[in-house]
Every structure is written in structure tokens, then in C-alpha cells.
Structure 1
Amino acid sequence: MSVSTEQRRQVVVVGAGHAGGTLAGVLRQQGFDGTVIVVGAESDPPYHRPPLSKKFAAEDEPQWLRPLEFYSDNNIELRLSETVVRIDRAGHVVHTAGGDRIDYDTLVIATGASARSLPIPGNDLRGVVSLRTLGEAQELRDGVVRGASIAIVGGGYIGLEVAAAARAKGCDVVILEREDRVLARVASSEFSSIVTEFHRTRGTRILTEVTVSEIRGKADGSVESLVLADGTEIGCDLVLVGVGAIPNDKLARDAGIACESGITVDGASRTSDPFVLAIGDVTHRIHDRVDGRVRLESIPSAVEQARQAAAVIVGSDVLAHEVPWFWSDQFDLKMKMAGILTPGTEAVLRGDPSTEKFALFHLEPDGTLDSLETVNAAAEFMAGKRYLANRTRLDRQKLVDLGTSMRDVTLAESATVVST
């Protein structure tokens, strides 16, 4: 069932994060002149979330997604510190915790994801923190001071980014990962090994294949140590829990909207209800370049879906999906990754990791580029991203030869041309 533009005069966005804030701005940029209401549970207006882990230790002001006057200047109603608790799909109304009713013609759910907690004794002690909001970033900043001992549970990108910032502040840092390597879910084993070495040479301790069974506290209720399953006790002043995120899809589930590992959406951010869209980390989406549905917890994906939702609302064409890509800043290392790694590919290294500038190209058996992982290698990343978009076959021997330009690394029969 399609819904005409005339029927979408009042748009209510639940969630004032990166996805929701972007959507509001894009709607106005695309000429939508109806009512736009953005409801956010946090007290802060939409802000850039990557700095929470990448630059949390800096004394900078929050990086707002838009200047604060943008919303009033563009007739966007921001309703902050307000939580939507129920969707009445039949009546096209959302109900807030404060008892308000907000009518909608189109509802956009952009409720994001919440940090997964550790279901162990002591997880509520003072000094046990996650990192999803400005408030949590401030709490982490207060604890990351020279000489402090920081324990990071989880060796994903957030944990590694915080470890890098904490080491730069002169903290003792240990990362505890239950898998056999860091970045086990999101990176190749080759890239994980290189990143592990980067951290260890800078003084970070990394323990893999360990499980935290308890967090012990002092008499004043603050953290004192972690206890591993084998009984090992590790003293610490602060614990960062970075063991993944859970999509905030309860609102949609309770309303009978289809959900599976997040809110189920198509390639244009449409849910099972024709009057409800969903965008950002809360979604389990179709992506043209990925088999099946996938949760892409990234800013590029959130922005892409915000543009999709805006296109649906104003009745314009939905653009083709961008190659999925991600980035991470650790120490002075600019890491950029593109594509979704497929098992069975061959990793081809271009450059030398000891120089802190290299790229790993993951090739299918016929040479087609499947995904890539780079460090301080902007030219390789930009060229590789274009090759991914075109499913270009690359020559392994040319790739490893730094004397060969990235525009010349394709197999002879490939017609793709990439400028560098």
C-alpha cells in the first residue's frame, strides 16, 4: 500500500539521535513544508556520536549535529527529555510518558540501540560505565585521568578507541575479550592481529579468551576489581563495558510492527506498516550490496536511511545503496573499512603495517574485491570503495606493488577506471 505525499503532512520522528536529526534537516532541504516534530528522550539536541568514543577525553564542547538555531529557523519542533511509550497505529497517535498525545501522518522510529550490559554481580557499582550518550562520555572522561587503571570489557571498535584515548592520557589499560581475538565480529583475523600489535606496543594489555564473572567494589560502592572465570582478579578504578548493543525496538514490537534483530525494514526504510518508517541502528535492513538483512551500526548507514525516509515522505526517488563503510580513530591511526567481509576470501596486503600505512584487500577466488580494511591509506580506501561499487576484479601482483598506481591494479580485462 502506498501513501501519497498529501497524506504525510505531519511527520513525527521518535528519536533525536544522528538518524532522527539528519532526517529532520533533509526533509526541509528537500522542500517538505509540513509539520516536523522530533521527540527525544535525552535532554540534548542531536549531536555527533562518534566523538563519544574517539574523542571523549578532549575538553571540546559537544559537537551538535546542527547549530541549535537551525531547528527553530526551519520550523522543526524539538521535544527533548520526552519519551514515547506507546504507538496507537489505528489512531495514528503516539503517547508520551508525560501523558501527551501526538498525532502523526507519518511516523519515523529512530530510537537507536542501547549498550548491552554485563549480567554479573557488581554491574551496578559506581565506575561501571557504557558509552552511548553525552552523559556517559562525561562520566568516562572524569575517570580517565593520569595514573588511573581502566578495564575495558570487550575488544570491539569502541573499546579499542577508548583504550587509545586512555593510554594517551597516561592510564593503565587492560582489554578483556572473550573471543580469541579483538574485533572478532567485524574484522579479518589479519587486521585484528595488526591492530592488537599496534595497541600492545603502546602499552595496552590485551587478554583474549577470558570471561568476566564478577565486579567487586569498595565499601563506598565504587569499583575495585574485576574477577575472571578462572579466579584471576584485576584491580581497576573504572570499567568500560563495550560488549555490543541491543536495538531499541520494544516500541515497535509492542505496536505489532515486524521486528527481527531490530525493526524489519525494506531497502527504503519502510516497515510492515505503510505509515511507519524506521531508520538508524534500530533497524534490520535490506541492503543491495549485502545478502539477506543486516544491522549496520554506522553513521553512513544512518544518514543513508534518513535520506531514504525523506525520499519516501516527499515522494522522490530513493537512491541506490552506498557501499557500506565504517571508520575508527585510534592513536594517530585513521582506520577506514568498506564492504562486509565474506568467509573464504583471500587477504592481499598492500603496504607495510610497521609504517602504519597499509591496506588489506579481500578478494574472491576470481579476484573480485569483496571488502577492504585500511590504515592511514586514503588513496587505497577511496579507490577500493569505487572498485567495490563496481565489483571490479583486481590483480593480486599489482596490488602488492606500491609502484603500481591504484588506478592500474585491475585485471587486464577489467574496464573500471579509478582516479587517485
Structure 2
Amino acid sequence: MSDGVVIIGTGQGGFQLAASLRQEGYQSPITMIGDEDCLPYQRPPLSKAYLRDGRVEAVQLRPASFFERSRIDLIAPERAVGIDRIARTVQTSTGRMLPYEHLVLATGARNFVPLIPGLEAPNVYSLKTTVDADRLRDALATFRKVIVIGGGFIGLEFAAVAVSSGHQVTVIEAAPRLMARVVSEAMSQTFREFHEKLGNELLLGASVVEVTVGHDGLASGVRLSDGRSVEGDMILLAAGVRPNTELAEEAGLQVANGVVVDNTLLTADPSISALGDCAAFPCPTSGGIIRLESVQAATDHARTIARRIIGKSVVYEAVPWFWSDQGSLKLQIAGLGQAADEDISVVGPDGRQLVFRFKMGKFLSLETINAAGEHMAARKLLRQPDGVSLDILAARNFDIVELAKALKEPA
């Protein structure tokens, strides 16, 4: 019998690959290796619903019976510590040697920890796992002066939950605007105004250079690059992530801000694939090598790899999309707008905001707030083989839903 597929990583991408393989009729062994002592679960709710209620069963992707019924061998908690590409084996921290016919790296990413003195204080928190979220929830059981380092998705999602629970929150972002890496200036401004109305204090354009620590060893605040100081009795570090590529590097695979793969998610080694946050892959629209920190990208990657493993000819060409729930606002992004040279913000009669992003007149991305229909329409239009122009959208008064109906997706 075949040695089957070994998946390093039990996040949503790794889980989706195992599930998709069985759905596609794959019969050989499937082994998942994960370093958390729990069943695979969803991470996005950790900064929102799970932070409030702590219901593990609500974030689990499947119960234990699913893995038994599907013949998926889940090895956890255990770490993969080495890959022998010649022998096609994975070594684990307990000394197991697991043979594979195909290996998939779904190692994800870890929180970035900048070189800031004082971050080792016990009341400085991170948010990546259920254990992290449980610690945060316990800390928020009494009133806190919370400092959030980082104005990206996770920091702002947490800030919205914390301030709505009665805590005093200060968000510190080194960039001049919120979520600057992923959204337009117009959308950054909308969320700035929203968070300020919630009661969050936002300090932009200044970085944290030191966490001040009291005689008791606990963090008591931070000092900023512009000389200001902020007091607080609890700090969340949400300064972004870095891909987990060490295993791939040690195995001699190419790494460049992620494990480099082709448009089928295959590395230069025909027996090894990579997916999700750890994978650097060709963008379906621009052709450049990108890495996406997105649950949807990870699950789309997984489905692509599963189909390839069972012998179907398939490439990854899904339109990237993202979302962030912050208080009453659901931000959704279709496409990649970072290269945009023109943004057009449209506010409908119902108050819903859309930001269209273009490069040289070509539609790249749509950012929406509480506008699921427009978001879905944008994803359809972004799949048009010849693209969609600013002129076409303007001629329809930026009614993207009607335009998507008019331009039927090719078969």
C-alpha cells in the first residue's frame, strides 16, 4: 500500500486538504501532525466570538468521530522536526519516522515579536491559539487599561471586543493609518472614525520602543518613538506574523517570504507541496509571487492540491478575498488592491461604503462594508478573463451587482 499523504499542520488549510482528499476518493493513508493538544479549529473567531464565550465546540472544524470515520490519523500534540527528502520521511519530536508518498507543508505562520524591551512581561499577550484567547478572556474578566500594539485586523478586532466590554483601549500603530498594508486610505479613514466613536484611542504614526515594567515585573505601559508614554495594565501584541518556513529551509527547499511553489502549489520537489500562510505562490492575476494570510486562500490551496494528488490537472486561480469583523462592521475585500494607482469611494443611499481600486484603469479590487452582494459580484467580475475597466464601471454608475448580471461569467 502507498505511504499516503502526510500533512504538517492542523490548521484550517491542513484540515481542508485531508477532508478534500477523502471527498475526492483518495484511499491511501492520511496523517496530520500538529503541535496543539486539540482537534483542528477555526482561528478567525478567536479575536471575536470565541474571545467572548470560549465555546471550543463552536470553533472546532469537526468532532473526533469525523477523523475516525474518515481514516485520518491525527498526531497531536507533536512537532515535525525534520524532513528527509531522499528517504521521504518526516521525523517528529518524539522520534517517530513517518514515511510519505506526498508531503504537504501547512505550517502556517507565527506572531511576529519585534525587538522591544519589556515584551517578556507576563501581562503582555498574543493571540494565535485557543490557549492565547483563553488567557486574554481571563485577563479581561476585570476592568483593564488595554494597550494594543498593531492596527491591523487582529488588533482592531480585539479592540472592538474589549472596548464594547467596558475596557479602556489604546491602539498604537506605527503606520500613519489603520490596516495600511491591506486597505485603501478611504477605508482606513472610515474605520478610524468608527473606532474612535466606539471609544478606542488611536495613536498613529508612532511605534513602541519600550514596554515599561514595574517593580512587580508587570508591564505598566509603553514608551513611543515620538517620546510619548501610555499607561496600561495589559498589552496585546498584534504586530503581524511571519511564515513558518524553517523545516522547508532545513530540507533544502526554496524559501522567499514563504515556501516557493508553482501554480499547482507544488515545490521544486515533486513529492512536496505547501499551502496557506507559509506558501509563496504565483498570483493568478499579476503573475508575481505573493503570500496570503487568508483562511480562504488556504482552503482553496488545499482543494487544488487534493485534486492534483488524485490525478486531476488543475492550477490555482482563485480570486483572493478577505474579511474582518470589527464591531458592527463587516469589511470584505475581493481581489488585491495594493498596486492600485486610483481609488474611487462610493457611498450608496443606504450608507454602505464601497471602495473600487484600479491600476491604469483596470479593476483590481473592491472593499465593502456590510455589502455581501456587492462583494460577491466583485469576485465574479474579477474572474473575467479580459478584466473590467474603470470606464465600464463608471458607465453603470458603479452598480457592480447589475454589471455582474450583464457580464455573465464564461462557462
Correspondent of 2:151 among 152, 155, 158: 155
Deviation, 1:9, is: 4.2
Q: Structure 1 pair 409/416, CA: closer, same or farther in 2 (3 Å)?
A: closer
Residue 57 of structure 1 aligns with which residue?
51
Aligned letter for 1:362?
Answer: R
Superposition map of 1:232-311 within 5 A: 232-311=228-307
Answer yes or no: is the 8 Å Cα contact 1:298–1:326 preserved in 2.
Answer: yes
Query: Which segment is superposed worse, 390-399 or 25-34?
Result: 390-399
1:19 aligned to 2:13?
A: yes
Deviation, 1:397, is: 5.7
Q: Deviations over 1:133-189 (max 9, x none)?
A: 111111111222453111111111111111111111111111111111111111111
Residue 143 of structure 1 aligns with which residue?
139
Query: SS at 2:40's partner residue?
Result: coil
Deviation, 1:29, is: 0.7
Deviation, 1:83, is: 0.5
Deviation, 1:67, is: 2.0
Aligned letter for 1:237?
Answer: D
Deviation, 1:197, is: 0.8
Deviation, 1:259, is: 0.7
Answer yes or no: is the 8 Å Cα contact 2:258–2:279 preserved in 1.
Answer: yes
Query: SS at 1:311's partner residue?
Result: helix
Correspondent of 1:117 among 88, 95, 113: 113
Distance 2:369 2:186 in 1: 13
Distance 2:227 2:341 in 1: 39
Distance 1:35 1:395 in 2: 50
The gaps in structure 2 that reach 5 residues or longer are none
Aligned length: 403
Residue 103 of structure 1 aligns with which residue?
99
1:407 aligned to 2:398?
A: no
Distance 1:253 1:160 in 2: 33
Residue 359 of structure 1 aligns with which residue?
354
1:336 aligned to 2:339?
A: no
Q: Percent identity?
A: 35
Deviation, 1:262, is: 0.9
Aligned letter for 1:26?
Answer: S
RMSD: 2.0
Distance 1:89 1:256 in 2: 9
Query: Which segment is superposed worse, 385-394 or 150-159?
Result: 385-394
Query: SS at 1:373's partner residue?
Result: strand
Superposition map of 1:3-42 within 5 A: 9-42=3-36
Correspondent of 1:88 among 80, 84, 89: 84
Answer yes or no: is the 8 Å Cα contact 2:304–2:316 preserved in 1.
Answer: no
Distance 1:222 1:46 in 2: 33
Answer yes or no: is the 8 Å Cα contact 1:325–1:337 preserved in 2.
Answer: yes
Deviation, 1:244, is: 1.1
Deviation, 1:352, is: 5.2
Deviation, 1:409, is: 8.3
Distance 1:140 1:219 in 2: 23
1:43 aligned to 2:34?
A: no
Distance 1:109 1:408 in 2: 40
Q: Deviations over 1:247-280 (max 9, x none)?
A: 0000000010111101001111101111111111
Deviation, 1:97, is: 1.3
1:382 aligned to 2:376?
A: yes
Query: SS at 1:389's partner residue?
Result: coil
Distance 1:249 1:399 in 2: 46
1:416 aligned to 2:407?
A: yes
Answer yes or no: is the 8 Å Cα contact 1:146–1:170 preserved in 2.
Answer: no
Distance 1:148 1:342 in 2: 36
Deviation, 1:358, is: 1.6
Aligned letter for 2:7?
Answer: V
Deviation, 1:43, is: 0.7
Aligned letter for 1:359?
Answer: L
Residue 187 of structure 1 aligns with which residue?
183
The gaps in structure 1 that reach 5 residues or longer are 1-5
Deviation, 1:207, is: 0.6
Answer yes or no: is the 8 Å Cα contact 1:215–1:226 preserved in 2.
Answer: yes
When normalised by structure 1's length, the TM-score is 0.91
Correspondent of 2:66 among 49, 67, 70: 70
When normalised by structure 2's length, the TM-score is 0.93
Deviation, 1:218, is: 3.0
Q: Structure 1 pair 348/409, CA: closer, same or farther in 2 (3 Å)?
A: farther
Deviation, 1:229, is: 2.4
Distance 2:160 2:71 in 1: 41
Q: Deviations over 1:22-77 (max 9, x none)?
A: 11111111111101110101111110010012324321412111122100111110
Residue 3 of structure 1 aligns with which residue?
none
Query: SS at 2:202's partner residue?
Result: strand
Q: Structure 1 pair 381/95, CA: closer, same or farther in 2 (3 Å)?
A: same
Deviation, 1:408, is: 4.4
Superposition map of 1:342-353 within 5 A: 342-351=338-347
Residue 221 of structure 2 aligns with which residue?
225
Residue 126 of structure 1 aligns with which residue?
122
